[in-house]
Amino acid sequence: MSAKRDAWEQGVFKKANQELYSLLADTLDLYYDNEVITQSLDTKSQSKTYMSKLRTELTIRLTELGVKVQRNSTTLTMLVRYVFKSDRKRAHGYSQVLGAAIQDHVQPADLANYITNAGGVEQIKRRMVLSEE
C-alpha cells in the first residue's frame, strides 16, 4: 500500500497540483493585467470607475452561476470565485495564496515554484492566517 501511495503522490497528485498552480498563475496574470490597466488610466476617478465596472461584471457573472457575492469581497476573491467556481472557503484560501504572491512580488510564471518552495497551498494559507493575527 505504501508503494501504491508513493506512486499516486508522484503521479496523479503531483500532476493535479501542477495544474492547480497553472490555473492560479493564470488568475494572477489576469489580476495583474487589470492592475496595469488601472495604473495606466489618467486619473484616480477613471481607475475607480474601471474597477467598479470590473466588480459589477464579476458580480453579474457570479450571480448568474448561483454564487452569492458579498459587497466586502475583494476583487481578487471575486475573480478567484469566478475562475474556480468554488465555495467561499476554497476561494478565500486561493485568494490568500495569490495575496501572498502579490505581497512577495511573484510573477505568474514563477508562481508554481513559489507555492512549491513555500510548502504548498495549505502552508501558505496557514502563514497568511498567522500574519493576519
Collapse the DSSP code of 54 into the 3-class scheme (helix H, G, I; strand E, B; otherwise coil) and give the result. Answer: helix
- Angle CA(80)–CA(95)–CA(17) in degrees, nearest 5? 80
pLDDT score, position 10: 84
- Whether the pLDDT of residue 106 is over 80: the answer is yes
Distance (Å, rounded) from C-alpha 28 to C-alpha 15? 20
pLDDT score, position 130: 67
pLDDT score, position 105: 95
Contacts by residues 48-55 (CB-CB < 8 Å, ≥ 24 positions apart): 51/75
- Whether the pLDDT of residue 87 is over 80: the answer is no
Percent of the chain with pLDDT over 90: 54
Predicted model pTM: 0.85
Q: Give the mean pLDDT of 89-107.
A: 93
Crossing angle for the helix pair 88-103 and 75-84, to the nearest 10 degrees: 120
Cβ–Cβ under 8 Å, residues 99 and 128: yes
Band the pLDDT of 122: cuts 50, 70, 90: very high
List the single range of 16-25, 84-93, 97-106 with lowest mean pLDDT: 84-93
Element (H, E) at 124: helix 121-132
39-74: pLDDT as tens digits:
888 888 888 899 999 999 999 999 999 988 888 989
Q: Tell which residue, 12, 106, 92, 26, has the closest CA to residue 115.
A: 106
